[in-house]
Amino acid sequence: MARYFMELAYNGSHFCGWQIQPNGVSVQGLVAEALSTILRVPTSVTGAGRTDAGVHASYMVAHFDVQQPLQSPADLARHLSRFLPAEIEVFSVIPVADDSHSRFDAVARRYEYHVTIGKNPFTRGLATRLNYMPDFDAMNQAAEMLLGYKDFTSFSKLHGNAKTNLCDVTRAYWEPRGNRWVFIIEANRFLRNMVRAVVGTLLEVGRGKLDIDGFGKVIECKHRGAAGTSVAAEGLYLVDVVYPTDIFQPTHKRFNES
């Protein structure tokens, strides 16, 4: 057996998410189907994460196995990109150790959430439109508090199946980027729906509906009902997956802006 890591990106607007679902077109399903067709043998794909319906990835890593080493992994990457829909691009196919795992070996992931102030036809489906100007300074003060906590139950999906709600957040802040504002958050792991719930609660701070101390109390109460409404999926991007250098060294992050 030979194992390969794949670097790819996708616009998630028209997919039911990364993970294969019984009723819907998934990124994982399309990539596995393409691999199986090109290699002429059923081939499954395991991703570094499970982005939800409508969520994008400017950088995702996945792995797959083949019985015999590929003659030209680079040719396979190009063939896959031509075979897949325009919304998905495969950057590279790289050989790794047989026991390397795209999900379990990742030590950090970074997400971004993009918003625009007012109507912008050129970011439709790629950023969330706000009809007001939030206080980004206040939101940054609140976001910094995330680094001082470990239990993020208040931002987890209700009745989720996570074994633990503990995460180590190492970066969390808003920055202006062209005609957008972008929230950047990095952690060793994320709970399902966590980023969208965090952003929704930060926007409560930005609108003056919740003060900074109140944001800390939301985290401390460990109850999803205390946090704000989750924001739309369209503004969310997985932008980086980090591995120990002895496991995998990235070769292509063309769409990773930060």
Dihedral (Cα; 227, 232, 238, 239), 10-degree rounding: -100
Catalytically active residues, by annotation? 52
Phi and psi at 143, nearest 5°, equal -60, -35
Residue 66 is inside which H or E element, if any?
strand 56-66
Opening angle at CA 77, ends 123 and 246, nearest 5: 95
User: Which structure tokens are listed for 124?
Assistant: 């439709």
> Around Cβ 220, how many Cβ atoms within 10 Å?
12
Instruction: Using alpha carbons, list the distances in angstroms from residue 189 to 114, 168, 180, 202, 217.
Output: 20, 7, 26, 20, 22
What distance in Å separates the CA atoms of residue 221 and residue 202, rounded to the nearest whole number? 16
Count how many residues are written for the chain.
258
CA 257 – CA 192 distance, rounded (Å):
24
Query: Going by C-beta distance under 8 Å and a sequence separation of 6 or more, which residues neighbour residue 180?
Result: 114, 115, 116, 123, 127
